[in-house]
Homo-oligomer: A and B are copies of this chain.
């Protein structure tokens, strides 16, 4: 029984939005990264919706997943075929209600969708960073977001919300800056990658590095490692779906044919779909960036970074209320990993709502229309704002 009843989804569109760019960590300042290196200035691409309240108490930070961007809602131009990636969640009357909240989404540090990363020009040169770019962590991404919020005059977040690698940023925010976070909504995420998740990322990275065009990352100007990047994306794509979802969507259906060809062209629909996804990805994403962002996800361990190996100790720093959601068919970050974080939160007396949502759509379920998820987030944010305005403290 799926809880994906979308008939009750409501709300309007935010309409047009503009991508903006903030220059942060300008000289004499720098951004000191966890690897020990310092970079600066740093650009973050970001978008905002709604207005910051005079009290500054209504900001919701939205964190995107691995290959996402700042374009979480609305349209850049009237010709856009599709709105931002979480348009079902963000807008007037929607769960992240732009009539009530000031919503911010920035492209993460290290990405290639407008923020500083391996695909940017190295300051003081006319060359791309490429593999000279320092390895960035989820913590570094949060650090850069913090600088952006300082810039925007946001002192404290009503909530920070995101799924998958976005959820890692949510967890990191809540532990790194407890005084600046009233509530946190980590979705379909984990406090650290399992060996299985690292394995898939490593296979994807190896696919890129095996492409001779990758050329140790120095492919700018030459041919691009599109073959490797496409295979990497295919690996990722399989992990985002589920056995059930793929059976329902593709089964063993053949593409444009009614019998087997006994050739190596794509003939099962799932083959065509994967090749298409791989190809499409190369048009919008940078291969080195894929290496860096998967590495950041693999490195993330809340217990290691903040608890000396103990997740409970890591969450002892936190001071916000949490809404945690996992999805039954998500085998990349299975529910048991969400339960582990919920348990560690509860051991610290933190207020946690946890919901395992029935969905056969796999890891990607958090991005798809869900009346259940919408209702959970609507209620949680409304309640958090009421509590903040009542007592100045959400707990």
What residues make up the interface of A, taking CB atoms closer than 8 Å to B? 34-36, 131, 134-135, 192-196, 198-200, 202-203, 205-207, 209-212, 227-228, 230-231, 234-235, 238, 241-243, 246-247, 249-252, 260, 262-264, 266, 268, 270-271, 274-275, 278, 291, 295, 298-299, 301, 331, 334
Residue of B nearest to A292 (CB): B264
Residues of B within 8 A of A295 (CB): 264
Which of B34, B260, B301, B334 sits near A243, CB closer than 8 Å? B334
CA distance A35 to B261 in the complex (A): 8
| Shortest CB distance A47–B (Å) | 30
CA distance A228 to B268 in the complex (A): 22
Q: Are A264 and B131 in contact (CB under 8 A)?
A: yes
Q: Are A134 and B243 in contact (CB under 8 A)?
A: no
Residues of B within 8 A of A212 (CB): 212, 227
Residues of B within 8 A of A249 (CB): 195
Q: Are A193 and B274 in contact (CB under 8 A)?
A: no
| Shortest CB distance A132–B (Å) | 12
Most buried by B among A196, A203, A207, A252: A203
Residue of B nearest to A278 (CB): B206
Residue of B nearest to A227 (CB): B210
User: Given that A210-B211, A249-B195, A331-B331 are known contacts, is A202 also in contact with B264, CB under 8 Å in the complex?
Assistant: no
Residue of B nearest to A248 (CB): B195
| Shortest CB distance A38–B (Å) | 13
Q: Are A270 and B202 in contact (CB under 8 A)?
A: yes
CA distance A278 to B198 in the complex (A): 16
Residues of B within 8 A of A194 (CB): 243, 246-247
Q: Are B202 and A35 in contact (CB under 8 A)?
A: no
Which of B205, B231, B291 sits near A210, CB closer than 8 Å? B231
